[in-house]
Amino acid sequence: MSAGRPALRMGPAELVQAAAMARRFYLEGKSKIQIAEEFGVSRFKVARVLETALERDLVRIEIRVPAELDAERSDALRSRYGLRHAVVVESPPEGEDASPDPENLGEVAADLLGELVAEGDVLGLAWGRSTIHMAAALDRLPPCTVVQLTGVYDAGTAERGSVEAVRRAAQVSGGEAHPIYAPMLLPDPATAAALRNQTGIARAFEYFDKVTVAAVSIGSWEPGISTVHDMLTDEERAHYASLGVAAEMSAHLFDAAGRRVGRDLGERCITVEADRLRRIPEVVAIAGGRRKAAAIGAVLRSGLVTSLVTDTMAADYLLTEFTPGPRPALDRTDPDE
């Protein structure tokens, strides 16, 4: 800067030089040392010029994400709940989408899986409307094995639900598919145990310990919001409600504090065990909507989930009305390390 000139005032030569330095730094990715050598000045002078370029509005830095993504809420949610990834999308205008999970959650989750899954991974998909929507939206996945983590809601609709989701993901990735042709909930533990020993189902279960990325859904304990709730009798629902169940994920029940309750239900279910879920490096939950918000918070408290795709309505509740509470630290190995 010329002596006596106001700190932010730049002459034409200085403006041209500042523009050139800014281009080298912001667009060409050159370091301040490289720029200093090119222009014959100190790196401290380069730093001052770049700072002045910002102050003079010669350089504008914009952080832009697609309109449907809420970057501020996403970062706040990730930090508040100790998540590895949190992606918040705009909720549909009130009254436009009455479904528990807006369909755009699946589309965004599909893009997230495209980032998280690496070649050679084993991708696990649990039953859920949101995971089915996600699989339908997949358009890129590196070569990986895809395994079903739970039985289906209704064996008669398997081809249109979890089984088809697994096949779709495997088709996109070009990898092997290991579906489970069995109901999620059985009448008694003996029937469930017998099914687990059937060849095809046993083969899928063998992959559970190899899963590196899993996608799961979350349900709150009310009709139409939890498939497990809907599969039980009135007497069974009342029993589990008396235990304080607030959320369900992959046929595992949780109270509001994130503690597992009603563990006997798991003995009747075809599903990945909670301990195995906890060992999976990346577990992505896909759930949104105000009716699921408290259930999402309960599952987050359990420590079984590492990442979340949700919407602004649920995120606002989780950020303002729900207290995270004690939660186990993420001790899984970061896939990027």
If one counts every other C-beta atom within 10 angstroms of the C-beta of residue 20, the result is: 14
- Continuous segment of H or E residues that includes residue 308: strand 307-311
In degrees, rounded to 5, the angle at the alpha carbon of residue 125 between the alpha carbons of residues 225 and 191 is 75
Residues 325 and 302 sit within 8 Å (Cβ to Cβ): no
* Mean pLDDT, the chain, integer: 86
CATH number at residue 109: 3.40.50.1360
Residue 264 lies in a domain: yes
User: Same structural domain for residues 179 and 279?
Assistant: yes
296 pLDDT higher than 80 = yes
Residue 154 confidence (pLDDT): 59
Residue 10 confidence (pLDDT): 66
Q: pLDDT of 298-320, one tens digit each?
A: 999 999 999 999 999 999 999 99
More confident residue, 17 or 325: 17
Count up the domains in the chain and report the number. Answer: 2
What share of the chain has pLDDT > 90, as a percent? 59
Residue 5 confidence (pLDDT): 39
Residue 225 lies in a domain: yes
How far is 192 from 144, CA to CA, in rounded Å? 28
DSSP 334: P
Residue 145 confidence (pLDDT): 97
Q: Which domain holds residue 19?
A: 12-56
- Continuous segment of H or E residues that includes residue 247: strand 245-249
User: Same structural domain for residues 40 and 148?
Assistant: no
Nearest to 270 by CA among 177, 162, 168: 162
If one counts every other C-beta atom within 10 angstroms of the C-beta of residue 96, the result is: 8
User: Same structural domain for residues 243 and 222?
Assistant: yes
- The 3-state DSSP class for residue 283 equals strand
How far is 318 from 282, CA to CA, in rounded Å? 21
Nearest to 213 by CA among 86, 117, 333: 117
Which of 64-73, 84-93, 123-132 bottoms out in mean pLDDT, i.e. has the lowest?
Answer: 64-73
User: Same structural domain for residues 262 and 324?
Assistant: yes
Residues 110 and 143 sit within 8 Å (Cβ to Cβ): no
Residues 141 and 169 sit within 8 Å (Cβ to Cβ): yes
pTM: 0.76
Residue 9 confidence (pLDDT): 62
Residue 258 confidence (pLDDT): 93
The sheet carrying 245-249 orders its strands as 219-220, 245-249, 252-255, 260-261
Residue 1 confidence (pLDDT): 35
How far is 113 from 275, CA to CA, in rounded Å? 22
Q: How many helices (H) and strands (E) does the chain have?
A: 14, 11
8 pLDDT higher than 70 = no
Residue 159 confidence (pLDDT): 46
Rg, Å, the chain Cα set: 25
Residues 82 and 330 sit within 8 Å (Cβ to Cβ): yes
335 pLDDT higher than 80 = no
User: Same structural domain for residues 173 and 254?
Assistant: yes
Residue 200 lies in a domain: yes
Q: pLDDT of 145-186, one tens digit each?
A: 999 999 987 544 444 577 899 999 999 999 999 999 888 999
36 pLDDT higher than 90 = yes
Residue 4 confidence (pLDDT): 38
User: Same structural domain for residues 51 and 189?
Assistant: no
Nearest to 179 by CA among 147, 142, 133: 147
CA distances to 79, 114, 134, 289 from 65, rounded to whole Å, are: 19, 17, 20, 22
User: Same structural domain for residues 41 and 157?
Assistant: no
Residue 61 confidence (pLDDT): 73
Structure tokens at 261: 């309750």
Sign of CA dihedral 23, 28, 31, 36: negative
Q: pLDDT of 215-253, one tens digit each?
A: 999 999 888 788 888 888 899 999 999 999 999 999 999
Residues 88 and 74 sit within 8 Å (Cβ to Cβ): yes
User: Same structural domain for residues 30 and 124?
Assistant: no
Q: Mean pLDDT, to the nearest integer, of 191-197? A: 93
Those residues with Cβ within 8 angstroms of residue 41's Cβ, 6 or more apart along the chain or in another chain? none
Residue 39 lies in a domain: yes
